[in-house]
Amino acid sequence: MAQAARTEHPKPQMQRENWQNLNGEWDFAFDFGCSGVERRFYERDRLDRKIQVPFCPESDLSGIGYKDFIPAVWYQKKVELTKEQLEGHVRLHFGAVDYECRLWVNGQEAGTHRGGYVSFSFDITKYAKEGVNTLTLYARDDTRSGRQCKGKQSGLFHSQGCDYTRTTGIWQTVWLEFLPKAYIEKLYYYPNIAESSVTVRAQDRDGNFFEVSGEEMVARCFCHELEHLEGHLFVERTDGQLYTMEELDAMESEQAESRKPRQKRGRRK
Protein backbone atom coordinates (compact mmCIF):
# COMPACT_ATOMS: atom_id res chain seq x y z
CA MET A 1 0.00 0.00 0.00
CA ALA A 2 1.41 3.41 -1.00
CA GLN A 3 1.96 5.98 1.71
CA ALA A 4 -0.81 8.60 1.95
CA ALA A 5 0.03 11.92 0.29
CA ARG A 6 -0.71 15.43 1.53
CA THR A 7 -1.24 14.55 5.15
CA GLU A 8 -1.12 18.16 6.34
CA HIS A 9 -4.34 19.95 7.34
CA PRO A 10 -5.60 21.77 4.21
CA LYS A 11 -6.99 24.72 6.21
CA PRO A 12 -4.47 25.45 8.99
CA GLN A 13 -6.35 28.59 10.08
CA MET A 14 -9.30 26.34 11.01
CA GLN A 15 -7.35 23.34 12.28
CA ARG A 16 -8.71 21.77 15.44
CA GLU A 17 -7.14 19.09 17.57
CA ASN A 18 -9.66 16.38 16.70
CA TRP A 19 -9.49 15.67 12.99
CA GLN A 20 -8.56 12.74 10.75
CA ASN A 21 -7.00 12.86 7.30
CA LEU A 22 -8.64 10.37 4.90
CA ASN A 23 -6.14 10.65 2.05
CA GLY A 24 -4.61 7.38 0.89
CA GLU A 25 -6.11 4.20 -0.52
CA TRP A 26 -9.83 4.09 -1.33
CA ASP A 27 -11.89 1.56 -3.25
CA PHE A 28 -12.75 2.87 -6.72
CA ALA A 29 -14.92 2.01 -9.73
CA PHE A 30 -15.57 3.50 -13.17
CA ASP A 31 -19.21 4.09 -14.13
CA PHE A 32 -19.10 4.69 -17.88
CA GLY A 33 -22.84 4.12 -18.23
CA CYS A 34 -23.73 6.38 -15.27
CA SER A 35 -25.86 3.51 -14.02
CA GLY A 36 -24.23 2.91 -10.64
CA VAL A 37 -27.06 4.52 -8.69
CA GLU A 38 -29.58 2.21 -10.40
CA ARG A 39 -27.29 -0.73 -9.63
CA ARG A 40 -27.02 0.43 -6.00
CA PHE A 41 -23.24 0.74 -5.83
CA TYR A 42 -23.77 2.56 -2.53
CA GLU A 43 -24.90 -0.73 -0.97
CA ARG A 44 -21.80 -2.66 -2.05
CA ASP A 45 -19.27 -3.79 0.51
CA ARG A 46 -16.33 -2.99 -1.78
CA LEU A 47 -15.53 -1.68 -5.27
CA ASP A 48 -13.36 -3.42 -7.86
CA ARG A 49 -10.33 -1.07 -8.02
CA LYS A 50 -8.05 0.91 -5.72
CA ILE A 51 -7.13 4.57 -6.02
CA GLN A 52 -4.82 6.91 -4.14
CA VAL A 53 -6.82 9.92 -2.95
CA PRO A 54 -6.52 12.89 -3.47
CA PHE A 55 -5.17 12.20 -6.98
CA CYS A 56 -7.75 12.05 -9.78
CA PRO A 57 -8.02 8.85 -11.85
CA GLU A 58 -6.46 10.59 -14.86
CA SER A 59 -3.27 11.13 -12.84
CA ASP A 60 -0.58 8.44 -12.74
CA LEU A 61 -0.10 9.25 -9.05
CA SER A 62 -3.60 7.87 -8.39
CA GLY A 63 -2.40 4.42 -9.40
CA ILE A 64 -4.86 4.38 -12.32
CA GLY A 65 -3.75 6.94 -14.94
CA TYR A 66 -6.77 6.60 -17.25
CA LYS A 67 -6.57 9.49 -19.75
CA ASP A 68 -9.78 9.07 -21.77
CA PHE A 69 -13.14 10.67 -20.94
CA ILE A 70 -14.75 9.48 -17.70
CA PRO A 71 -18.44 10.41 -17.25
CA ALA A 72 -18.78 9.09 -13.68
CA VAL A 73 -16.82 7.38 -10.91
CA TRP A 74 -17.39 5.85 -7.48
CA TYR A 75 -15.28 5.92 -4.30
CA GLN A 76 -15.57 3.97 -1.07
CA LYS A 77 -13.71 4.21 2.24
CA LYS A 78 -14.21 2.35 5.52
CA VAL A 79 -13.53 4.44 8.62
CA GLU A 80 -13.65 3.28 12.23
CA LEU A 81 -15.12 5.75 14.73
CA THR A 82 -15.05 5.62 18.51
CA LYS A 83 -17.79 6.46 20.98
CA GLU A 84 -15.84 9.58 22.05
CA GLN A 85 -15.63 10.84 18.47
CA LEU A 86 -19.41 10.56 18.14
CA GLU A 87 -20.20 12.61 21.27
CA GLY A 88 -20.44 15.87 19.32
CA HIS A 89 -20.71 16.48 15.58
CA VAL A 90 -18.90 14.52 12.88
CA ARG A 91 -18.19 16.56 9.74
CA LEU A 92 -16.82 15.11 6.51
CA HIS A 93 -14.86 17.59 4.37
CA PHE A 94 -13.91 17.45 0.69
CA GLY A 95 -11.31 19.88 -0.63
CA ALA A 96 -12.81 19.54 -4.13
CA VAL A 97 -14.74 17.00 -6.22
CA ASP A 98 -15.29 17.48 -9.95
CA TYR A 99 -18.09 17.97 -10.77
CA GLU A 100 -21.36 16.81 -9.24
CA CYS A 101 -21.36 14.34 -6.35
CA ARG A 102 -23.59 12.39 -3.96
CA LEU A 103 -22.52 10.91 -0.63
CA TRP A 104 -23.81 7.84 1.19
CA VAL A 105 -22.84 6.92 4.75
CA ASN A 106 -23.59 3.33 5.73
CA GLY A 107 -25.98 3.06 2.80
CA GLN A 108 -27.93 6.23 3.64
CA GLU A 109 -27.68 9.28 1.40
CA ALA A 110 -26.10 12.09 3.40
CA GLY A 111 -25.71 14.96 0.94
CA THR A 112 -25.06 16.29 -2.55
CA HIS A 113 -22.82 18.98 -4.02
CA ARG A 114 -22.34 20.60 -7.40
CA GLY A 115 -19.22 22.45 -8.50
CA GLY A 116 -15.70 21.17 -9.05
CA TYR A 117 -13.54 23.95 -7.63
CA VAL A 118 -14.61 24.73 -4.06
CA SER A 119 -14.37 22.88 -0.77
CA PHE A 120 -17.52 21.65 0.97
CA SER A 121 -18.57 19.46 3.87
CA PHE A 122 -21.43 17.33 5.21
CA ASP A 123 -22.55 16.85 8.79
CA ILE A 124 -22.77 13.05 8.94
CA THR A 125 -23.46 12.76 12.68
CA LYS A 126 -26.87 11.12 12.36
CA TYR A 127 -25.60 8.57 9.83
CA ALA A 128 -22.40 7.59 11.65
CA LYS A 129 -22.10 4.79 14.19
CA GLU A 130 -19.57 3.43 16.63
CA GLY A 131 -17.25 1.00 14.86
CA VAL A 132 -16.71 0.63 11.11
CA ASN A 133 -18.48 3.13 8.85
CA THR A 134 -18.68 2.96 5.05
CA LEU A 135 -18.36 6.22 3.09
CA THR A 136 -19.44 5.96 -0.57
CA LEU A 137 -19.14 8.85 -3.02
CA TYR A 138 -20.53 9.09 -6.56
CA ALA A 139 -19.07 11.79 -8.83
CA ARG A 140 -20.41 12.67 -12.27
CA ASP A 141 -18.34 14.82 -14.62
CA ASP A 142 -19.45 15.19 -18.24
CA THR A 143 -17.14 17.93 -19.52
CA ARG A 144 -18.47 17.71 -23.08
CA SER A 145 -22.12 18.18 -22.14
CA GLY A 146 -21.99 21.98 -22.22
CA ARG A 147 -24.10 22.03 -19.04
CA GLN A 148 -21.30 22.52 -16.51
CA CYS A 149 -18.20 24.61 -15.92
CA LYS A 150 -15.08 22.85 -17.21
CA GLY A 151 -12.43 25.55 -17.07
CA LYS A 152 -9.41 24.56 -19.16
CA GLN A 153 -10.15 20.85 -19.28
CA SER A 154 -9.72 19.69 -22.85
CA GLY A 155 -12.76 18.78 -24.93
CA LEU A 156 -10.51 16.51 -27.02
CA PHE A 157 -8.62 13.41 -25.96
CA HIS A 158 -5.23 15.17 -26.04
CA SER A 159 -4.26 18.41 -24.36
CA GLN A 160 -4.38 21.34 -26.75
CA GLY A 161 -3.34 24.96 -26.47
CA CYS A 162 -3.92 25.96 -22.85
CA ASP A 163 -6.39 23.09 -22.27
CA TYR A 164 -5.17 20.04 -20.38
CA THR A 165 -6.18 16.47 -19.55
CA ARG A 166 -9.37 16.38 -17.52
CA THR A 167 -9.74 16.00 -13.73
CA THR A 168 -12.59 13.75 -12.58
CA GLY A 169 -13.85 13.07 -9.07
CA ILE A 170 -11.87 13.74 -5.89
CA TRP A 171 -8.81 15.89 -6.50
CA GLN A 172 -8.19 17.54 -3.12
CA THR A 173 -7.78 16.35 0.47
CA VAL A 174 -10.61 14.56 2.27
CA TRP A 175 -10.81 14.75 6.06
CA LEU A 176 -13.07 14.16 9.06
CA GLU A 177 -13.54 16.68 11.84
CA PHE A 178 -14.89 15.85 15.29
CA LEU A 179 -16.61 18.88 16.80
CA PRO A 180 -18.34 19.80 20.05
CA LYS A 181 -22.09 20.43 20.04
CA ALA A 182 -21.48 24.17 19.61
CA TYR A 183 -18.65 25.30 17.37
CA ILE A 184 -17.44 28.01 15.02
CA GLU A 185 -18.27 27.30 11.39
CA LYS A 186 -16.97 30.35 9.53
CA LEU A 187 -14.58 33.22 10.13
CA TYR A 188 -14.54 36.61 8.41
CA TYR A 189 -11.52 38.95 8.68
CA TYR A 190 -11.80 42.73 8.22
CA PRO A 191 -8.40 44.47 8.25
CA ASN A 192 -8.12 48.20 8.92
CA ILE A 193 -4.77 49.34 7.54
CA ALA A 194 -5.20 52.93 8.75
CA GLU A 195 -5.54 51.80 12.37
CA SER A 196 -3.25 48.76 12.08
CA SER A 197 -6.00 46.50 13.38
CA VAL A 198 -8.18 43.61 12.34
CA THR A 199 -11.75 42.67 13.23
CA VAL A 200 -12.78 39.02 13.29
CA ARG A 201 -16.42 38.08 12.80
CA ALA A 202 -17.26 34.48 13.67
CA GLN A 203 -20.36 32.48 12.77
CA ASP A 204 -21.39 29.43 14.77
CA ARG A 205 -23.21 26.37 13.43
CA ASP A 206 -26.61 27.90 14.26
CA GLY A 207 -25.92 31.02 12.22
CA ASN A 208 -25.22 33.30 15.19
CA PHE A 209 -22.47 35.91 14.86
CA PHE A 210 -20.10 37.51 17.32
CA GLU A 211 -17.41 40.06 16.58
CA VAL A 212 -14.13 41.00 18.21
CA SER A 213 -11.39 43.46 17.35
CA GLY A 214 -8.43 45.33 18.79
CA GLU A 215 -5.53 44.09 20.88
CA GLU A 216 -7.75 42.23 23.34
CA MET A 217 -9.20 40.18 20.51
CA VAL A 218 -6.96 37.20 21.26
CA ALA A 219 -8.01 36.66 24.86
CA ARG A 220 -11.65 37.60 24.34
CA CYS A 221 -12.06 35.15 21.47
CA PHE A 222 -10.28 32.41 23.36
CA CYS A 223 -12.45 32.82 26.45
CA HIS A 224 -15.66 32.95 24.41
CA GLU A 225 -14.64 29.90 22.41
CA LEU A 226 -13.78 27.85 25.47
CA GLU A 227 -16.90 28.81 27.39
CA HIS A 228 -19.42 28.53 24.57
CA LEU A 229 -17.93 26.88 21.51
CA GLU A 230 -14.98 24.81 22.73
CA GLY A 231 -13.01 25.33 19.52
CA HIS A 232 -9.87 27.18 18.54
CA LEU A 233 -10.53 30.81 17.62
CA PHE A 234 -7.35 32.30 19.00
CA VAL A 235 -3.91 33.47 17.94
CA GLU A 236 -0.89 31.42 18.94
CA ARG A 237 2.54 32.61 19.96
CA THR A 238 5.61 31.20 18.25
CA ASP A 239 6.18 28.91 21.25
CA GLY A 240 2.70 27.41 20.85
CA GLN A 241 1.36 28.86 24.14
CA LEU A 242 -1.60 31.20 24.57
CA TYR A 243 -1.33 34.84 25.56
CA THR A 244 -2.89 35.60 28.94
CA MET A 245 -4.79 38.84 29.58
CA GLU A 246 -1.90 40.01 31.79
CA GLU A 247 0.56 39.43 28.95
CA LEU A 248 -1.69 41.32 26.55
CA ASP A 249 -1.88 44.24 28.97
CA ALA A 250 1.92 44.23 29.31
CA MET A 251 2.32 44.16 25.53
CA GLU A 252 -0.09 47.06 25.16
CA SER A 253 1.83 49.07 27.77
CA GLU A 254 5.13 48.38 26.02
CA GLN A 255 3.69 49.42 22.67
CA ALA A 256 2.22 52.59 24.16
CA GLU A 257 5.58 53.39 25.76
CA SER A 258 7.41 52.83 22.50
CA ARG A 259 5.08 55.27 20.73
CA LYS A 260 5.93 58.12 23.12
CA PRO A 261 8.21 60.76 21.58
CA ARG A 262 11.69 60.65 22.99
CA GLN A 263 13.16 63.77 24.61
CA LYS A 264 15.85 65.37 22.52
CA ARG A 265 18.99 66.28 24.35
CA GLY A 266 20.08 69.84 23.82
CA ARG A 267 23.49 70.54 22.39
CA ARG A 268 26.13 71.87 24.69
CA LYS A 269 27.24 75.34 23.87
Amino acid at 225: E
The better pLDDT of the pair 7, 153 is held by 7
pLDDT at 261: 67
Mean pLDDT along residues 204-230: 55
Q: Is the pLDDT of residue 115 over 60?
A: yes
The better pLDDT of the pair 166, 93 is held by 93
Using DSSP's 3-state secondary structure scheme, residue 227 falls into helix
The class that CATH gives domain 12-179 is mainly beta
pLDDT digits (tens, 9 = 90+) for 71-110: 999 999 999 999 999 999 999 999 999 999 999 999 999 9
Q: Is the pLDDT of residue 67 over 90?
A: yes
**pLDDT confidence tier of residue 244, bands split at 50, 70 and 90:** low
- Of 49-63, 91-105, 179-193, least confident by mean pLDDT is 179-193
**pLDDT confidence tier of residue 222, bands split at 50, 70 and 90:** very low
**pLDDT confidence tier of residue 163, bands split at 50, 70 and 90:** confident
**pLDDT confidence tier of residue 124, bands split at 50, 70 and 90:** very high
Mean pLDDT along residues 232-261: 60
Q: Are 263 and 239 in contact (CB under 8 A)?
A: no
Instruction: Output the average pLDDT for the chain.
Output: 82
pLDDT at 233: 36
Angstrom distance (rounded) from CA 180 to CA 160: 49
Q: Is the pLDDT of residue 218 over 60?
A: no
pLDDT at 221: 40
Q: What is the DSSP letter of 139?
A: E
Q: Where are the domains of the chain?
A: 12-179, 184-259
Could you tell me the CA-to-CA distances from 47 to 30, 65, 198, 259 in Å, in that order? Answer: 9, 18, 49, 66
Q: Are 155 and 162 in contact (CB under 8 A)?
A: no
- Of 53-62, 86-95, 129-138, 191-200, least confident by mean pLDDT is 191-200
Q: Given phi > 0 = left and psi -120 to 50 = alpha, else beta, which region is 240?
A: left
